[in-house]
A and B are shown apart, each in its own frame.
Chain A
Amino acid sequence: MSTKKNWPLWEVFIRSKAGLSHRHAGSLHAADDEMALEMARDVYTRRNEGVSIWVVESKSIKASDPEDKEALFEPASDKIYRHPTFYDLPDEVKHM
């Protein structure tokens, strides 16, 4: 008999069609990665939502802390020169 009480939690990522990246669809419990794939197919792709599935055990994901939001993302907010609209061009310049 197994020592673990519960099946671990997995995060499911689905590529909806070739050319697009995999996107988080949800999570589910499964005994191992193969079972997680099979279950992800049944739970998240009953209506042709995907052409490819990734599963990763939830505990393997390292997430940023919401408390660090300012430290992480604020520095980007005042760097407007990283956007094309920062640069004024004469009207004669088209297609740039």
Chain B
Amino acid sequence: MAEKDLEKIFQDKIDNEVKIEPKDWMPDAYRKTLIRQISQHAHSEVVGMLPEANWITRAPSLKRKVALLAKVQDEAGHGLYLYSATETLGIERDETIEDLHSGKAKYSSIFNYPTLTWADIGAIGWLVDGAAIMNQVPLCRCSYGPYSRAMIRVCKEESFHQRQGFSIMLAMANGTAEQKRMAQDAINRWWWPSLMMFGPNDSESAHSAQSMAWKIKRFSNDELRQRFLDMTVPQCHLLGCEVPDPDLKWNEETGHYEMGPIDWDEFWNVVKGNGKCNRQRLRDRNAAYDNGAWVREAAMAYAEKKQQRKEATQAA
């Protein structure tokens, strides 16, 4: 069949909400876009473990510690679901991981900020996971089957993450004056980076139009950011904390909040590798991988030895 016909069949399927599966014909650009997006998403889950792991040993109670451990374990799992989805597109897992470790592939910039106090763990669960959920729920209906199925699992698990974060914030906000100050400080530092997680404004967004036509993306960056803002501002007020945006306004007519301008210079600076923790995150990922090399090799050697022994017994 001619490429033009294949492309028409492909787009018809997408227009009719029929999922694309790994062995189906797909345009190269669709495959490449998905490999980039899903692997970046996987990297974000994996690198996202680092700022939180910083507080596992210092959690204030056993209850908070088991919850944080479970959350971080989930992030590892989410990374694995997504790496598997990437592999269905015909790229080896090693290659994907190598791209992260060399700095060629990106991950969500939010994880290049440090976690300075326990309140940061609350703010990450509430704001960062909250923004991630807002982005991920529409991805459950993404046109690529394996990505959509992975996102359904991720979203099911992720709602506990946001709740545990908000529960930490509630405890801090209703605690001592010092705890309340820490909660407000964490909000001040995580608020704007969380809003940046939705990506550049629609007018500046490079990949949006094509991704919308392919139904990889269902809503624009600004639409999702607005939803997040409308949902989160009242939650911040419920905590008795202030939103660190002097220009924030409630618009009675539209029924939406209006925010001040985002500092996109900061965003691009962190994307380009100059955030507070970019180098540390990559160094830690590389070290974890390199230090685990002997385990991967030993496990493979052991598996082969077992197999040989089994074959020898069967032969005898």
The interface residues of chain B lying within 8 Å CB-to-CB of A26 are 81, 84, 149-150, 153
Mark each residue of chain B from 91 to 104: 1 if its CB lies under 8 Å from any CB of chain A, else 0: 01110000000000
27 pairs across A/B with beta carbons < 8 Å?
A1-B297, A1-B301, A2-B304, A3-B304, A4-B304, A5-B94, A6-B93, A6-B94, A7-B296, A9-B87, A26-B149, A26-B150, A26-B153, A27-B84, A27-B87, A31-B300, A32-B302, A32-B307, A42-B77, A43-B81, A46-B73, A46-B74, A63-B23, A65-B23, A66-B21, A66-B23, A66-B24
Q: Report the separation of the CA atoms of residues A26 and B299 in the bound assembly, to the nearest whole angstrom.
A: 22
Q: Chain A contact residues: over half helix, strand or loop, or mixed? A: loop
Q: Report the separation of the CA atoms of residues A65 and B77 in the bound assembly, to the nearest whole angstrom.
A: 30
Q: How many A-B residue pairs have CB under 8 A?
A: 55
- Categorize the interface residue count of chain B: 20 to 34
- Categorize the interface residue count of chain A: 20 to 34
Q: Report the separation of the CA atoms of residues A3 and B308 in the bound assembly, to the nearest whole angstrom.
A: 13
The interface residues of chain B lying within 8 Å CB-to-CB of A6 are 92-94
Mark each residue of chain A from 34 to 62: 1 if its CB lies under 8 Å from any CB of chain B, else 0: 01000000110011000000000000000
Known: A26-B81, A28-B84. A4 touches B300 (CB 8 A): yes
Residue A29 interfacial (CB < 8 Å) = yes
The interface residues of chain A lying within 8 Å CB-to-CB of B299 are 7, 31, 35
Which residues on A are within 8 Å of B, measured CB to CB? 1-7, 9, 26-29, 31-32, 35, 42-43, 46-47, 63, 65-66
- Please indicate which of the listed interface residues A31, A43, A65 has the most CB atoms of chain B within 10 Å of its own CB: A31
Residue B58 interfacial (CB < 8 Å) = no
Of A2, A9, A43, the contact of B300 (CB 8 Å cutoff):
A2
CB within 8 Å of A: which B210-225 residues: none
The interface residues of chain B lying within 8 Å CB-to-CB of A29 are 93
